[in-house]
Chain A
C-alpha cells in the first residue's frame, strides 16, 4: 500500500504572538515550528497503515526550504520518502496549494492520501477536498478511525451524540482529526536514518489566487482584570462564596 501524507509547517505558538510590521504574517523570530496537530496524527496514521499493510509512505509539504525540517521529522518517525514543493515562503491560498499538490502527484498513484482536517494557522478546511475533487477520488473529512479491508475503507467521524460511519472504495483521500491515534516520538535511530533519506524537490508555479489576503490583525483583547480569590486551600471558602454569587450553587 502506497500512502501519501500532506503536512504543513506552522509556528508553535504557545500562549501569545505578535504580528510582523506589515501585518502579513506572525512574527516568528522567537518561535519554534511544528507539524500542524491534525497532520501530526496523519503522519502517524500513514506509518501505521504501512506497518500493517506493507508498501511505503511519502510525506509532502508546500513551503520554503525551512519546511524540510518538518519533512525530516516525519522521515525520522518512519516515513520513507519526502517531497518539498518549494516556494519563497509566502502563503498560498487553498486552491493554489491543492493544484500544486495535484500536479506533483498526478504521475504517482497512491492508494491512500492523508491530510489534516484543517491546518492550525490558516484554517481553510479544504485542501484535501480540492485535491480529491481534481483527482476524482472519494474523500471523507474529519475522520477519527480508519480501517482498510481489501478494496474498501471504513472511516468513522465523531459527531454530536455519537459516530457516523463511511465506507468508500479505494484509492481514497481522508482528512484526519487529532484523536485518531497518539503520534509516536522519533527514535534516535530514526533521526539518524532520516538524515540519509532523500527529499525530492519541485518548484511549482503559483496559479492565480482567488482569496486575496490583505492583512492579519489581533482580535480585541478582553477587558477587565482577574479577581484573585485567594491562595492555597484556604481559598476554598472564598470560591464557594463566589459560586453562590454566580448562582452555580444555591
Chain B
C-alpha cells in the first residue's frame, strides 16, 4: 500500500494533491499496491468522497480534537503513528511548502531519507526517483533506500486525472498525542487586504526587472496590467531594490506563476526568475538587449526600450478597446 498525505485548506483540496494521486496510481500499478490517503485538519472528512473518484481505496481520517489549524510536530507525529500501524511501502505528499515540511519531519522522526520534489518514480527495492534541483533547471536521478520510501511530488509535473476506485472505505485513526506535541502551531491567521487578482491566479502577468529602473517605473506596468485584467510581478532585481514588495517576486525564491500570457519587461531571463514562470503558456519579452537570454525562452519578442514601448502599447490597447 502507498500512503498519500493530502493537503487542503479547511476542506478545499490543493490541486497538487490530486496531481500526486495521479502519479502515485502509476507507481502503485506495477507494484500491485493500492493507494490509500491520510487526511487531517479542520473539515478534512468532507474531501473523502472526492478521493474515491481519484482512485483512493481507503481514507484514514487522522483525528485529534486539537487538529484544527496546522501544527507541524503533532501532524507529523500523527502520521508516524499511522505509518507504524498500517505499514505502507511508501508515503508521499505534494511538493508544496507544507508537504515538503511535513514529509521532512516524518523522515527526521523515522530516521529515513526524504526525496523532495520528484517528477518520476521507478519502482524497485531501491526506489528510483528523478527530482528537481535549482527549482527545476536541473534534474537529479537518485535512488532512495530504507522503508517506507518517503518523498514529495513536484507540483505541475502531471495534470491530474480522475480514475474512480472500485472499492472504498473510511477509517478513523486516533494517534496518541500530548500537549507538548502542539508547542509549534498556527495561533492566528491574518487575511491579506490586497485587492485584485493574485499573482499565482492571474491569467495575464506583467513583470518588470532591472530595466524598469525605479518604483515609479512600475506605474506604467500597473496600468498595462489593469487594462489586461492581470497582475504585476517583478524579478529578484526589482524586489531587492525595493521597487516592489517581496511578495511580488516571481522566481525560485518567490512566487510561481502560471498565466496564459506573461509580459516580461526589462527582465534578462536568469534561471532564478525563469523557474518561477514554468507554468506560463506564452511569454512576450520586451528588452533593449537583443542578446538577453529571455529571448531564447520567449514566444514573442520586442526589442527596444520598455519606457517607450509600454506607454505606446497602453495607448494602442486603449484605442483598440474604444473601437
Contacts and interface: CB of A to CB of B under 8 A. Distances in A.
A166 B184 contact: yes
Interface stretch (A52-60, A66-74, A81-89, A224-232): A224-232
A141 B271 contact: no
B312 A233 contact: yes
Give the most central of B115, B141, B187, B302: most A CB within 10 Å: B302
Contacts of A130: 104, 107-108
B246 A129 contact: no
**Looking at A38, A132, A228, which has the most chain B CB atoms within 10 Å of its CB?**
A228
Contacts of B141: 213-217
Given A126-B104, A239-B302, A15 B187 contact: no
A13 B273 CA distance: 11
A110 interface: no
A211 B73 contact: no
Contact of B191 (A133, A157, A162): A162
Interface string A1-25: 0000000000001111101000000
B104 A125 contact: yes
A219 B314 CA distance: 37
Given A126-B100, A164-B189, A214 B247 contact: no
B301 A212 contact: no
Interface in A196-250: 209-219, 222, 224, 226-240, 242-244, 246, 248-250
A121 B271 CA distance: 12
Interface string B192-231: 1000001010001000000000000000000000001000
A229 B301 contact: yes
B139 A168 contact: no
A140 B184 contact: yes
Contacts, number: 254
A246 B260 contact: yes
B133 A121 contact: yes
A56 to B, nearest CB: 26
B134 to A, nearest CB: 6
A160 B98 CA distance: 12
B142 interface: yes
Interface in B1-50: 9
Interface stretch (A42-50, A175-183, A187-195): A175-183
B317 A249 contact: yes
**Count class of interface residues, chain A:** 35 or more
Contacts of A169: 183
Interface residues of B, number: 93
Nearest to B246: A179
Contacts of A104: none
Contacts of A141: 72, 97, 101
A226 B285 contact: yes
Given A124-B116, A125-B116, A216 B133 contact: yes
B320 A249 contact: yes
B66 interface: no
A163 B190 contact: yes
Given A211-B115, A212-B143, A249-B321, A129 B101 contact: yes
Contacts of B190: 156, 162-165
A120 B321 CA distance: 43
A240 B261 CA distance: 13
A166 B186 contact: yes
A24 B309 CA distance: 44
B189 A162 contact: yes
Interface string A125-143: 1100110111000111110
A101 interface: no
Interface string B47-60: 00000000000000
B228 A210 contact: no
A236 B71 CA distance: 52
18 contacts: A13-B137, A15-B293, A120-B253, A123-B133, A123-B134, A125-B116, A138-B73, A164-B186, A178-B253, A211-B115, A229-B284, A233-B304, A235-B302, A239-B316, A240-B317, A242-B300, A246-B260, A250-B321
Interface of B: 9, 69-70, 72-73, 97, 100-101, 104-105, 107-109, 111-117, 126, 131-146, 183-192, 198, 200, 204, 228, 236, 239-240, 242, 246-247, 249, 252-254, 260-261, 268-272, 282, 284-285, 293, 295-305, 308-309, 311-313, 315-317, 320-321
Among all A-B residue pairs, the 3 with the closest Cβ atoms: A179-B246, A210-B113, A126-B104
Given A218-B138, A226-B300, 17 more contacts: A17-B271, A121-B133, A130-B108, A156-B190, A164-B188, A178-B254, A179-B254, A209-B113, A211-B115, A216-B138, A226-B298, A227-B299, A229-B284, A230-B302, A235-B302, A240-B313, A242-B300
